[in-house]
Amino acid sequence: MNGAKIVSGGRPDRISIKCCQVCTIAIVPIRIILVDDHDLVRAGIRALLERLPHVTVVGEARNGQEALTLLTEAHPDIAFVDISMPGFDGLTFIRRASSIAPHVHLIVLSMYPLESYVSEALEAGASGYLLKQSADLTELNLAIQCVSAGAHYLTPAIGRQVMEGSLRSKESVTAQSLTPRQREILRLIGNGHGTKSIAHLLDISVKTVETHRSELMERLGIHDVAGLEWPVWMIPTDLIQLFVMPCQT
């Protein structure tokens, strides 16, 4: 396997978690592979991930070529990928993996907080971007949960600079271009309220909320509802204030 390693002796196909004093549920662990040319880095990340009961590390690779082998042999759900590796680098792997295994969520774990790296990784098909120097167990778990739910995750240290760079490079909507009602609904969506909850809080119909939501998606250039639920650090600077204001009911 040219150095790629399928990890044996991991967690079983299903694990039991006690949800209360009398009930136990069985869940399928999230399968993860680690792609990094540094043995110590892989060992450190694996040690952290092994503390999470709902994940299991099923393979390791030292470059993109080895990682492609793991996609078919280890059947991962998520891959943590370094960008800078000798030969077949992380970006090349992400592009190919996105094509041949689109169901696998790809999270970059890099030491480079450069906007150009982040943008290129996202364009290549990555679902997340973390920094090695700041990623701890809490953030690793948060990234796993986000991408598993179909969302994207950017570490807070770089998320805002990426969004600001995107706004500088193309014409984008600003807070001032949204109507007061649209701004209010966007804030409520960002704070986790569903359609029925928003309709109740604003004393309007569910259909009216859905109409405003569709208009927001069109104005913001968002193609799915999940995009309206980005965490605060992924919202453009002039819209952040909408998410920190208390709701007025």
Per-residue pLDDT reduced to its tens digit, 2-21: 566 666 545 555 544 454 55
pLDDT band for position 233 (50/70/90)?
A: very low
- Provide the terminal-to-terminal Cα distance of the chain, rounded to the nearest Å: 60
Same domain, 175 and 151: no
Same domain, 35 and 102: yes
Whether 223 shows a pLDDT value over 50: the answer reads yes
CATH number of the domain residue 198 falls in: 1.10.10.10
Same domain, 137 and 213: no
Domain of 94? 5-166
Strand-pair category, 5-6 with 15-18: unpaired
pLDDT in tens, 121-142: 988 999 999 999 989 999 999 9
Average pLDDT in the chain? 79
Q: How many domains does the chain have?
A: 2
pLDDT band for position 243 (50/70/90)?
A: very low
